[in-house]
């Protein structure tokens, strides 16, 4: 199930979903195939194993749009700004390394920005045959992914213990918070 929401205070809708059984191969070719399937649509692809659920990407989009439209973005494109906020880093090369797709990526999270709900959701229908098998469970935080996310985003057990709720939600909240704080470090 694709998650779609309006970005309050902006003229954007964001749709987020996952795909399994992906064969990225050459990253530039992969991005070109996606772009051909959804031309004129703003999108960003992520390694789903480095994504802490759809909320992680949703709030990255919220923060990126706010920074970009407010003239505080550091990239030239909104799509790359989303990548920066998702990675919680302000270096583009680090962001791609941390959460971007690579030739080894087998599970992809896709974020689409559209001017309407229909445009954003329609992009997923148009791109499904190009990326892989639609499967939003690749966004879930569990098992080995849990440990990887803690390491990648530098989340300690002490921090997790200070956040109420299930551990998976606590980890997502802490990663979202790190992304939100990115603009303060600029």
Cβ-based burial of 26 (10 A; exposed 0-12, middle 13-18, buried ≥19): exposed
User: Domains (ranges, CATH) in the chain?
Assistant: 3-185 (3.30.2380.10)
Confidence tier at 185 by pLDDT (50, 70, 90): low
pLDDT of residue 71: 87
- Whole-model pTM? 0.94
pLDDT of residue 123: 94
pLDDT digits (tens, 9 = 90+) for 46-81: 999 999 999 999 999 999 999 988 888 889 999 999
pLDDT digits (tens, 9 = 90+) for 118-165: 999 999 889 988 999 999 999 999 888 999 999 999 999 999 999 988
pLDDT of residue 186: 56
Q: Which two tokens stand for residue 121?
A: 């959701």
Find, among 94, 6, 107, the residue nearest to 50 by Cα.
Answer: 107
Find, among 53, 10, 36, the residue nearest to 139 by Cα.
Answer: 53
pLDDT digits (tens, 9 = 90+) for 13-50: 999 999 999 999 999 999 999 999 999 999 999 999 99
- Using an 8 Å Cβ cutoff, are 15 and 114 in contact? yes
pLDDT of residue 143: 83
CA distances from 147 to 16, 36, 49, 92, 157 (A): 23, 35, 11, 24, 11
Helix (H) or strand (E) holding 172: helix 167-180
């Amino acid at each position: 199930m694709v998650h779609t929401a309006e970005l309050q205070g902006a003229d954007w809708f964001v749709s987020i979903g996952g795909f399994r059984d992906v064969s990225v191969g050459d990253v530039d070719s992969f991005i070109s195939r996606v772009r051909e399937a959804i031309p004129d649509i703003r999108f960003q692809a992520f390694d789903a194993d480095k994504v802490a659920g759809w909320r992680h990407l949703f709030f990255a989009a919220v923060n990126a749009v706010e920074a970009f439209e407010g003239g505080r973005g550091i990239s030239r494109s909104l799509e790359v700004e989303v990548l920066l906020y998702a990675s919680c880093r302000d270096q583009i090369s680090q962001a791609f390394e941390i959460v971007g797709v690579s030739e080894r990526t087998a599970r992809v999270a896709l974020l689409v920005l559209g001017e309407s709900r229909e445009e954003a959701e329609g992009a997923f229908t148009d791109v499904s045959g190009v990326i892989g098998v639609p499967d939003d469970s690749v966004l879930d935080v569990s098992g080995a992914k849990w440990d990887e996310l803690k390491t990648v985003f530098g989340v300690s057990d002490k921090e997790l213990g200070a956040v109420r709720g299930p551990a998976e939600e606590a980890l997502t909240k802490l990663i979202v918070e790190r992304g939100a704080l990115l603009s303060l470090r600029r």
